[in-house]
Structure 1
Amino acid sequence: MSKSAPAAPLADRGEGAPEIDERLFVASVAKAMKVLEAFDKTAATLSLSDIAIRTGLGRSASQRFIYTLERLGYLDRDAQTKRYGLSRKVFRFAQNASSSNQGLEAAYPQMRILSEKTRETISWVEVDGADIVIIATIPSTHISSVNLPIGTRFPALSSSSGQMLLAHSAPSHVEKVWKASASSVSQRTKARDAAEMMRILEAAKAVGFSVTEKNMEQGSISVSAPVHDRAGRAIGSINLSTLTTRYSRETAIAELAPLVLEAATKATETLAS
């Protein structure tokens, strides 16, 4: 399947997405969220003009939303530069989401044990549309390591965690995620279409874990295994990330995968008890 440009996030696409009920949909809330979402790791602070351009709302509308969000305490304004940034109040949402996450609560003790055994970067990962999101991380104690800050996103189908979680999804859902994914997914997985991607996922599901490699400044290897809730749904995964300078793919499969799988199994048992 040929792909040229990154597709829109799955949640933003008309295809396969729930239709909007205009009687219930509050457009002004959606616009306010656009303003908050304009800030990211590449733009921690933005001017009014920056926000207007990034959101497409126009200068006048952007100014009204910015003023409201600042008065509510969700944006801070630097008096000297007149630039805006997300306030510390926004962190309440992340804190509330983490504290109410039963999967993370069950997995974290096992993540801590896995961290102590391997000294590698250990993360709790969940799927969001066509992406995976790092929800929690225990950093590696090695000087050279993989850094995965909370909130980091990667395409799901080309990541080990995403593969394990989507392997438990219906083929029709995998096809939707495939269509919503960037061209880099087919390049990294070597899958030519959704059916071939599904076969890769089924192979990972059969062994209970997935291993992927990524070339960054240093080559990295990612090993993931899924955690299931009482209903048997794969709700998240425990991920271990290391460098190819310490482990080859073969040694990661032989030495690390069993440890990750054990941690995920024990977390699943905790949720079932």
Structure 2
Amino acid sequence: MTPVNPESSTLYVQSLATGVQVLRAFNTQRASMSLPEIASAVGISKSAAQRFAFTLEALGMLKKDSQSKRYSLSSANLESGYQYLQCHPLLERANPYLLDLNQRTGETVNLAEPADDCMVYIGRFSSLARLIAHVPIGQRIPMFCASTGRAYLSSLSDDAAREILERSDRVRYTPQTVTDVDALLTLVQQAREEGFACCHDQFYRGDLALAVPIWDAAGNAVAGLNLSVSSTSFTVKRAINKFVPLMLETARLISTTPPNPTALRPFRTEPRGPKEAG
């Protein structure tokens, strides 16, 4: 078991941790950085930044512009992510069923797994007819506003779900994003009762997202199956009626054991009120 404060352990390799921090410091706002910028972003000295940048460049993880002397991530960083997906037993088992659901519905289908207070998208088959938003493999979406996140939270106890919601940075991504913890917990409880979660305009405008949990052999939710449609093409009621039965069937096929009994309860078909449409 990892200690509460792993940095206090004699097994903790600080230099390795700092090297990882340097790589993680690069993002959309800092696509390239000079040595002083790396030092500032990571909280290390310029000489330390120089040593780490030199080593990471030598390993092929960073590349240096010969003119500007600025560093940026190299494509080698994709290798570990690619290997992770190649070795992922759940994704390997799920992909044929995800593709089948995509072809049967003509809509975008995703598989996401929990990581702290977010869901990370590890599998995706896009709609050929319409693409609401570009969600690349590896993107993290906060649980509180993701249909897969609410589906996953619905598998937890109320106390566990509340703890995750309370420590989440609940940003209002759209005017409709629900950020109040009590309101979110009500939606999670509703998802638990109905066996699926519905998010309407929560992270992306125009996105109507449905999700159901994926279960492991021990009966624990380990991922979320998502199907997204355009809210200009579907009402909530029509989307639920058309897609949720197919999604539950797909989830049963992917899961190593039958889903939690709550996932088999009849799902509600009447339109939701404004409070529930989040």
CA contact (8 A) 2:166 2:181 kept: no
CA contact (8 A) 1:157 1:185 kept: no
In the TM superposition, what is the alpha-carbon distance from 1:128 to its structure 2 partner?
0.7
Deviations 1:187-218 (Å, cap 9, x if unpaired)? 8336444xx54443222022211110126774
Equivalenced residues, count: 254
Unaligned runs of 5+ in 1: 1-16
- Other-structure match for 1:14: none
Q: 1:269 to 1:47 in 2, by over 3 A?
A: same
Structure 1 residue 258 and structure 2 residue 270: aligned?
A: no
The runs of at least 4 consecutive aligned structure 1 residues that moved more than 6 Å come to: none
Alignment partner of 2:171: what SS?
helix
Q: In the alignment, which of 204, 223, 227 is matched to residue 240 of structure 1?
A: 227
- Other-structure match for 1:18: 4
Cα distance in structure 2, aligned partners of 1:104 and 1:169:
22
- Other-structure match for 1:189: 178
Deviations 1:154-197 (Å, cap 9, x if unpaired)? 1102211011112222334323312221233798336444xx54
- Other-structure match for 2:123: 136
CA contact (8 A) 1:122 1:137 kept: yes
Cα distance in structure 1, aligned partners of 2:246 and 2:37:
46
Alignment partner of 2:177: what SS?
helix
Cα distance in structure 1, aligned partners of 2:137 and 2:166:
26
Unaligned runs of 5+ in 2: 260-278
Q: What's the RMSD between the two structures over aligned residues?
A: 2.5
Cα distance in structure 1, aligned partners of 2:119 and 2:61:
25
198-207 or 234-243: which moved more? 198-207
Q: In the alignment, which of 98, 101, 118 is matched to residue 105 of structure 2?
A: 118
Structure 1 residue 212 and structure 2 residue 195: aligned?
A: no
TM-score, reference length from structure 1: 0.84
TM-score, reference length from structure 2: 0.82
99-108 or 212-221: which moved more? 212-221
Cα distance in structure 2, aligned partners of 1:165 and 1:75:
36
CA contact (8 A) 2:108 2:131 kept: no
- The residue type equivalent to 2:98 in the other structure is M
Structure 1 residue 84 and structure 2 residue 71: aligned?
A: yes
Q: Which has the higher contact order (CA 8 A, sep 6+)?
A: 1
